[in-house]
Structures are given as structure tokens and as C-alpha cells.
Structure 1
Amino acid sequence: MTHTLREFVTAKLSKLEQFFEIASISVYIVQKVEKVQKIVEATVHLYGSELHATAEADDVYLAIDLLIDKLTQQLKTHKKKMKQY
């Protein structure tokens, strides 16, 4: 992963901090290239849970944007469930 791409991912992942404290989240990003498609996967480890999302697009930056959107939605759902307990 290039330095520019790493900075882009870090900036995008910082948006996830609004859901949980930084200390409670660890994220692992995997980038794959299959022919023309760029595939990005992320696993978010929370206390007692794990969320996983995958996105693919022709451009890696677009794939990361899609991935962050998916993770944001999952985190919103997870946080809502946590409030119910």
C-alpha cells in the first residue's frame, strides 16, 4: 500500500471513531486486485463482536469509499443493538 493510499484510508477510517472509542476498535484492511477490479476488505474488531465488509470497484479509492459506507452502516446497526441491551 502506498503512503498516499495509507493516508487516504486513515482519513476515511477516522470517520468510524464517532461510533466507538478508538481503544475499542482495531481494523484490518486487505487490498486485492483481480483483473480490472480492485477489492478491499476490512474487519473491525470490537469488544465482543466482529464486523466484516467487502467492496469492489474499478478504482481503489472508490472501493475504499464504498467499504467505509458499508462499515458505517454496520456500526450504526451494531451501536443501536448495544443501546437496547
Structure 2
Amino acid sequence: MNWKKKKEIRLSEMELLEIKRKDLAKVGWLAMNKTEKEQLRKLINFNWYKMPDYAKAKILKDDYIKFETQELSVKFAEKLKKK
């Protein structure tokens, strides 16, 4: 197999994994109750203000909030699956 085919296969696998992670994040977000969502928001805002200035310059706050919310929702959903 040449490198172009391998690259296409890797990209398609990565896209599938990203779709699965987004679905898992949706499940985690929907499974959280109101207080857990509020705690998540507070944690993300606290982490944003603790981040060094050079890192803040590379990412927008909205993008950071989206990314962290997705990551923490995935972790929450994985905990639910283990139970």
C-alpha cells in the first residue's frame, strides 16, 4: 500500500474516533444534572484564569470552554459506562 492510501485510512479512522467522542460527550452532557453542569463551568473558568498568559494568547476563551466541556463530558460518560 502506498503512503497516500495509508494517509486516507488514518484520516478516516481519526474522523470515526472523533465522531464517537462527540457522541460520548453528548451522552455525558445529557446525563449531568444542573448542579454538576454548574460545577463543571466553575472548574473550567477557574482553570482558564490559572492558565499562563502565553497559553491564553494562543486560544480563545470560547474555544477553550468548548474543548474542556467536551473532554470533561467524555470522562463523565466513561464513568457512567463503568458503573
Q: TM-score if structure 2 supplies the norm length?
A: 0.40
Using CA pairs below 8 Å that are at least 6 residues apart, which structure has the higher relative contact order? 2
More strand by share: 1
Greater radius of gyration (CA): 2
Q: TM-score if structure 1 supplies the norm length?
A: 0.39
More helix by share: 2
